[in-house]
């Protein structure tokens, strides 16, 4: 088979991400306004911070910045999740990580479909946070059965799409006309349907069980519920949102502002109230589900770094429970996170974060090669011969995700589920295990270390 006639997975993913963004701008105009704001602020940050500009260029992060975004969808059944996995695989997006949201009172569990290799991430890191409804968490057995019956009636994929995806897998790719057809059909899966598939009474009952249950069960497909561009200064965007008439969520989720950003900071604007029509009834109702979000990404953390992050976040939250506190959440966060070193060398030495390695300066590198010392990476870093380049965190944070879900559900919506993570059930429904994100970052760091070591050996003659 001549694979040169195939459009690359990276190219298909880029086109799909672009098509989704164009569709969502039509559907939710505020998302378009947010995109313009983020572009403006990113341009201004790059202009005023030449050091950041050149660091991003060196890390090959600059090219992807303008196309970078994530989306989120929610599906109702195992068959739907498997179909989604088949479609995303055509675009080089694979399930990474398991997120249990039931602990936060949301009856779903999730994974993130995303590219995994260095080149694919650099080209276009489009990711989709994908949640599966956990029907077993609906208490009322009748309602549970009714929801299952409604879901079993629908087919979320346009005819021919899954066949095309399966054929791509067998043949090894899609030709140009096939890729066009594929992107159009795949995008259509996630469009908004104003017409609910149920009557108002059914909608109300499902909504009362949990607003998310109604959102997942009552429509023809898993509409994209937000798209999230990446900003270089989330605090600036957060501050500017209300000035542009965009109703921002109160708090930025995740770690505090730092010189060396870690993981992921996120904020969103509140969901729109949209008119919907019910089956067999005149008149309209309303549904709120779709919103916009922004994110700022930092370095990926090791297991130890992540444990430290989780414990500091828990400390910040616990301190907030104490009546005597006069500090704002942001002040507490800043204060508690003083315990997390804000210095790349220290994060590397203490094994808290993942990095790639590069000679800092060609002349110094040449001197080092001439000196004939044996390879010793930690020493080369310490002496400033080798520079640390942070590996960007490509995933999500469950506590932040819960905060994003909650801000769009209203405070009254807090539910308590007696439930635990059900990773193996999720993987059974998905039809494969999810990849371990920490392993992916570790492998990226190791590849970089090996490449530099090889170069050192080759150039030392
Ligand atoms: C997904 C919420 C999680 C994020 O950025 O953490 C998420 C949803 O609302 O379906 O997208
Ligand atoms: Ni999101």
pLDDT tens for residues 211-245? 999 999 999 999 999 999 999 999 999 999 988 88
Q: DSSP secondary structure string, 115-161?
A: --SHHHHHH---EEEEEEE-GGG---HHHHHHHHHHHHH---SPTTH
Ligand 1 pocket test target in 405, 406, 407, 410 with most atoms within 8 Å of CB: 405
Spatial distance between the Cα atoms of 97 and 99, rounded to a whole number of angstroms: 7
The arrangement of strands across the sheet holding 69-75 comes to 94-100, 108-114, 127-133, 69-75, 226-229
Q: pLDDT tens digit string along 20-32?
A: 999 999 999 889 9
Q: Which ligand is nearest to the CA of 112?
A: 1
Which contiguous run of DSSP H or E holds residue 383? Answer: none
**Structure tokens of 173?**
């790719």
Give me the pLDDT at residue 418, please: 63
Around Cβ 138, how many Cβ atoms within 10 Å?
22
Give me the pLDDT at residue 71, please: 97
From the list 190, 173, 186, the residue with the least C-alpha distance to 9 is: 173
Q: pLDDT tens digit string along 154-204?
A: 999 999 999 999 999 999 999 999 999 999 999 999 999 999 999 999 999
* Atom number in ligand 1 closest to CA 71: 11
The helix-helix angle for 50-58 and 29-48 (nearest 10°) equals 110
**Structure tokens of 393?**
């965190």
Going from the Cα of 232 to the center of ligand 2, the distance in angstroms, rounded, reads 16
Q: Is 230 in the pocket of ligand 1 (CB under 6 A)?
A: no
Q: What domains are there in the chain, each with its CATH number?
A: 3-300+394-430 (3.10.180.80), 301-342 (no CATH), 355-390+435-461 (no CATH)
pLDDT at 355 over 90: yes
Q: Is 405 in the pocket of ligand 1 (CB under 6 A)?
A: yes
Contact 396, 101 (CB under 8 A): no
Pairing of strands 226-229, 69-75: antiparallel
Phi, psi values for residue 139, rounded to 5°: -70, -45
Give me the pLDDT at residue 86, please: 98
């Amino acid at each position: 088979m001549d694979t040169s006639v195939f459009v690359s997975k990276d190219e298909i993913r880029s086109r799909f991400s672009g098509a989704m963004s164009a569709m969502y701008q039509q559907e939710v105009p505020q998302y378009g306004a947010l995109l313009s704001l983020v572009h403006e602020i990113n341009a201004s940050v790059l202009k005023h911070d030449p050091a950041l500009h050149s660091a991003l260029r060196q890390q090959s992060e600059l090219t992807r910045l303008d196309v970078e975004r994530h989306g989120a969808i929610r599906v109702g059944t195992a068959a739907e999740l498997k179909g989604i996995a088949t479609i995303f695989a055509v675009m080089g997006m694979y399930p990474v990580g398991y997120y249990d949201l039931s602990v936060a009172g949301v009856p779903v569990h999730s994974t993130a479909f995303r590219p995994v290799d260095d080149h694919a991430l650099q080209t276009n890191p489009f990711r989709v946070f994908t949640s599966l409804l956990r029907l077993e968490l609906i208490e009322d057995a009748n309602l549970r059965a009714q929801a299952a019956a409604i879901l079993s009636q629908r087919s979320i994929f346009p005819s021919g799409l899954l066949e095309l995806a399966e054929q791509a897998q067998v043949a090894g790719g899609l030709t140009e006309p096939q890729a066009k057809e594929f992107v159009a059909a795949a995008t259509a899966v996630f469009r908004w349907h104003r017409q609910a598939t149920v009557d108002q009474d059914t909608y109300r009952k499902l909504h009362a069980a949990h607003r998310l249950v109604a959102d997942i069960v009552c429509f023809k497909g898993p509409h994209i519920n937000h798209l999230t561009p990446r900003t270089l200064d989330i605090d600036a965007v957060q501050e500017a949102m209300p000035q542009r008439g965009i109703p921002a969520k109160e708090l930025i989720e995740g770690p505090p502002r730092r010189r060396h950003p870690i993981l992921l900071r996120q904020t969103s604007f509140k969901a729109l109230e949209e008119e919907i029509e019910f089956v067999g009834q005149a008149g309209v109702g309303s549904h709120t589900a779709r919103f916009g979000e922004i994110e700022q990404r930092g370095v990926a953390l090791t297991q130890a770094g992540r444990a430290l992050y989780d414990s500091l976040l828990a400390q910040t939250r616990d301190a907030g429970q104490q009546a005597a506190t006069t500090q704002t959440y942001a002040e507490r966060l800043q204060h508690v996170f003083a315990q997390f070193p804000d210095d790349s060398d220290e994060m590397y030495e203490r094994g808290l974060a993942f990095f790639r390695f590069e000679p800092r300066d060609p002349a110094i590198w040449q001197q080092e090669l001439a000196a004939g010392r044996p390879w010793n990476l930690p020493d080369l870093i310490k002496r400033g011969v080798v520079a640390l380049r942070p590996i960007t965190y490509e995933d999500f944070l469950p506590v932040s995700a819960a905060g994003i879900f909650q801000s769009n559900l209203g405070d009254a919506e807090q539910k308590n589920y007696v439930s635990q993570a059900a990773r193996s059930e999720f993987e059974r429904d998905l039809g494969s295990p999810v990849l371990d994100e920490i392993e992916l970052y570790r492998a990226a760091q190791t590849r970089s270390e090996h490449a530099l070591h090889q170069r050192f050996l080759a150039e030392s003659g």
